[in-house]
Amino acid sequence: MDAPVIDTRPIVAAGPKAPAHGIKVRTRDVSVFYGDKQALSDVSLDMADRAVTALIGPSGCGKSTFLRCLNRMNDTIQGARVEGVIELDGEDVNARAVDPVALRARVGMVFQRPNPFPKSIFENVAYGPRIHGLTTSKSELQDVVEQALRRAGLWDEVADRLDQSGSSLSGGQQQRLVIARAIAVDPEVILMDEPCSALDPIATARIEELIDELRQQYCIVIVTHSMAQAARVSQQTAFFHMGQIVEIGRTDELFTNPKEQRTLDYITGRFG
Ligand SMILES: Nc1ncnc2c1ncn2[C@@H]1O[C@H](COP(=O)(O)OP(=O)(O)O)[C@@H](O)[C@H]1O
Ligand SMILES: [Mg+2]
């Protein structure tokens, strides 16, 4: 395991909308097994900082499994086994010295269903900074909560009711609350697994705008069922099929001029 990761494949540049930032997350030959069943095979992908990478592909092709490798959420699944190399800023996330709880603060995750804690709006966002000891006073904590809610585009809607339950919010607001909760611990990477699939079109549009703003600051990896969404929000797209990456490309190129027949078939709706 001490050998350096040698990669001869060209690194896909971030798209024209994004300045060329370095690689934040890199995977090489990642395979995942659930018991005897292989769900991912040799997935190698570079995800740029300050850019959005979209993962697309038919249901069951391994997108969520791959996302969970990046912050070791597969550790929590009984019988799951991960092989290959996953690096954050060049460091192996599976190294023994890495604390998965600390890793998950650096690599936050937003799920399909908004999942606020059964607590107040304030407490939902304050929870992470508190358990990670990021603030030293009440006023500092209040500032962190306000900043996170502002960056998640929710502050104006909740500033006067921070003590109300997170679940009193609409679905779209709850999803922005969950994003604020992730932001509050100052992450570097935000993983989103179909974050809009439970939302209406207006709430979806707000989340997409938010993703576009957040990309100025974070490495974002989003799984989406919607090719239109991938095209709108991402600079790089990876097309997964049956546990493998079929094609990686700049989003504009992958959707207009795919190199692989399977990609073309998928984006033109022939399967999936
Ligand atoms: N916890 C699990 N236990 C066993 N098999 C799983 C588990 N999670 C996912 N799988 C299987 O792994 C494959 C990939 O699933 P998943 O990563 O959820 O795909 P996607 O997100 O692209 O729909 C599927 O065949 C799925 O049934
Ligand atoms: Mg999934």
Give the Cβ contact number of residue 2 at 10 Å.
3
Overall domain count for the chain? 1
What are the residues whose beta carbon lies below 5 Å from ligand 2 (ion)?
Answer: 64
Q: Is residue 11 part of a domain?
A: no
How far, in Å, is the centroid of ligand 2 from the Cα of 5?
Answer: 28
Residue 202 lies in a domain: yes
In this prediction the pTM is 0.91
Cβ–ligand 1 distance for 60 under 6 Å, the answer yes
Distance CA 55, CA 98 (A): 26
Interval between CA 63 and ligand 2 midpoint (Å): 6
Q: 174 in ligand 1 pocket by Cβ < 6 Å?
A: no
109 in any annotated domain: yes
Give the pLDDT confidence score for residue 4 in this predicted structure.
Answer: 40
pLDDT reported for residue 17:
41
Domain enclosing residue 220, as ranges: 23-113+186-267
34 lines ligand 1 (CB under 6 A): yes
Ligand 1 closest atom vs CA 67: 17
In a domain, 203, yes or no: yes
Write the CATH number for 251: 3.40.50.300
37 domain residue, yes or no? yes
d(CA 50, CA 65): 23
Please write the tens of the pLDDT for every residue from 32-87: 999 999 999 999 999 999 999 999 999 999 999 999 999 999 999 999 999 999 99
Q: Could you tell me if 112 and 56 are in contact, meaning their C-beta atoms sit under 8 angstroms apart? A: no
- Cα 90 to ligand 1 centroid, rounded to whole Å: 27
Q: Could you tell me if the CB of 236 is within 6 A of ligand 1?
A: no
Residue 150 within any structural domain of the chain = no
Number of neighbours of residue 23 by Cβ within 10 angstroms: 18
**pLDDT per residue over 168-181, tens digit each?**
999 999 999 999 99
d(CA 215, CA 54): 12
Provide CB contacts within 8 A for 195, sequence distance 6+: 110, 111, 112, 175, 179, 207, 222
Give the DSSP H or E segment for 206. helix 201-214
C-beta separation of 25 from 93 below 8 A: no
Q: Which ligand is nearest to the CA of 192?
A: 2
Write the secondary structure of 161-203 as one string of H (helix), E (strand) and C (coil).
Answer: HCCCEHHHCCHHHHHHHHHHHHHCCCCCEEEEECCCCCCCHHH
- In degrees, rounded to 5, the angle at the alpha carbon of residue 144 between the alpha carbons of residues 139 and 147 is 120
> Which position has the higher pLDDT, 65 or 2?
65
Domain-located, residue 122:
no
Q: Has residue 106 been placed in a domain?
A: yes
What pLDDT was estimated at residue 11?
41
Ligand 1, closest atom to CA 66? 17
